[in-house]
Amino acid sequence: MQNPIITISREYGSGGRDVGRMIAEELGVPVFDKEIMHMAIEKSGLSADFIEKRGESISNKLLLNIKRLSLSVPNTRVPSGYNSYALASTKKRLDEDRLFQIQSSVIGEIAAQGGCVIIGRCAGYILRDCSGLLSVFIRGNLDDRIKRTIEIYSMPEKNAAENVRKIDKHRANHYKLYTGRKWGAAENYDLVVNTSYSGIAGAAAVIRAMLACR
């Protein structure tokens, strides 16, 4: 398939970032991960610190507050998607929505340039109508992901399980808020791969095989 656009969503510790970088290198296409945040900084006027901290996580408390606010606002829904401004009056909430819009714009510009791999940031949903898209979710068994965070990311063993679950929950909340869909549900992706079974190289091979079917 010419100029594939591959989006990688992933559970924390599953190796999804490594899978994305491997497949990009094999296909000879650029990969975008934190680069998207830097591009968003240039477009947004928001601080680099804000984007680093808020670029892919919505706290449970914030999500609960938005849900409560929605009860008093007629004809609204949670998740709020691109038009969630009516649900909150705080600058933080407005900045969250603005950041998502800016990152969505950046992702659209990247995809318009041709073949690439984009990691995270709801890119599969944002580009869902894009021709040539292959949306992938990378998962792994919890014990394997905890082990990987300890070995690869040097996370303290006593905190590893809690942190893996916490980061997964943040990603799920963010995805739900801005897409209205369940993060990790198979119907929201073209392909779901378990790296506990395939390994990193095996997951990249599965993606290549999927591309060859198109």
The domain that contains 157 carries what CATH number?
A: 3.40.50.300
The residue ranking higher by pLDDT, 58 or 193, is 193
Flag whether the pTM goes above 0.85.
no
Residue 126 has pLDDT above 60, yes or no: yes
For residue range 26-61, list pLDDT tens digits in order. Answer: 999 999 998 887 787 777 665 556 555 555 444 444
pLDDT band at 67 (very low <50, low <70, confident <90, very high): very low
Q: Could you tell me the residue range of the domain that residue 34 belongs to?
A: 5-212
Domain count, the chain: 1
Q: Which long-range contacts (CB under 8 A, 24 or more apart) does 90-95 make?
A: 92/62, 93/62, 93/66, 95/46, 95/50, 95/54
Mean pLDDT of the chain: 82
Strand duo 116-119 + 5-10: pairing: parallel
Following DSSP, what letter does each residue of 45-92 receive, concatenated?
---HHHHHHHSS---HHHHHHHHHHHHTSTT--SS-TT--GGG--SHH
Looking at residue 11, what is its pLDDT? 98
pLDDT band at 1 (very low <50, low <70, confident <90, very high): low
Q: Considering all CA atoms of the chain, what is the largest pairwise distance in Å, rounded to the nearest integer?
A: 51
For residue range 136-163, list pLDDT tens digits in order. Answer: 999 999 999 999 999 988 889 999 999 9
Q: Are 177 and 82 in contact (CB under 8 A)?
A: no
